[in-house]
Amino acid sequence: MKHKVVCVQPIHPEGMKILRSREDLEIIVPESPEPQYWEQHLADVEAIVVRITRIERWMIEKAPRLKLISRHGVGVDNIDLAAAAARGVPVGNTPGVLTDATADLAFALLLAAARRLLGRAAS
């Protein structure tokens, strides 16, 4: 029997490749993660991989086989942590994934400000 994993939105291609290489997993990427989808498909889901969609209490409650929620990104503010904890469902994320990009952007903005690259409007 395959374990059913819902990737609410597609994740990085390498991550999808790793998930799809596992013969014991059935990976589902819904075309439109609307509430109707959840109403019909959560009963046999064992894991949810999410990027930006909010995972709410009612979704967790409708998934009696749920064993894991994982956020592909930093933070877990889009997941109802109290509901997950009440069911004993661990929640994970990918901390540090944006550290380099954030530092690069901050440095670029500092340079732009120091050199007044964007400060003058055309007359």
Mean per-residue pLDDT, 42-62: 92
pLDDT band for position 119 (50/70/90)? low
CA distance 5 to 50: 11
Q: How much of the chain exceeds pLDDT 70, in percent?
A: 95
Its pTM stands at 0.77
Mean pLDDT score across all residues of the chain: 87
Model pLDDT, residue 10: 82
pLDDT score of 121 more than 60: no
d(CA 68, CA 47): 5
- Banded model confidence at residue 123, pLDDT cuts 50, 70, 90: very low
Instruction: With respect to residue 122, please indicate whether it lies within any of the assigned structural domains.
Output: no
Please check whether residue 112 lies inside any domain of the structure: no
72-97: average pLDDT: 92
Structural domains in the chain (count) = 1
Q: What CATH number does the domain containing 54 carry?
A: 3.40.50.720
Domain limits at 10? 3-97
Q: How far apart are alpha carbons 16 and 12 in whole angstroms? A: 6
Residues 10-50 pLDDT 10s: 888 998 999 999 999 999 888 776 777 777 778 899 999 99
Q: How many helices (H) and strands (E) does the chain have?
A: 5, 5
In a domain, 18, yes or no: yes
- Convert 49-88 to b/e letters by CB count within 10 Å (16 or more is b): bbeeeebeeebbebbeebeebbbbbeebeebbeebbeeee
CA 14, CA 7: separation in Å to the nearest integer?
14
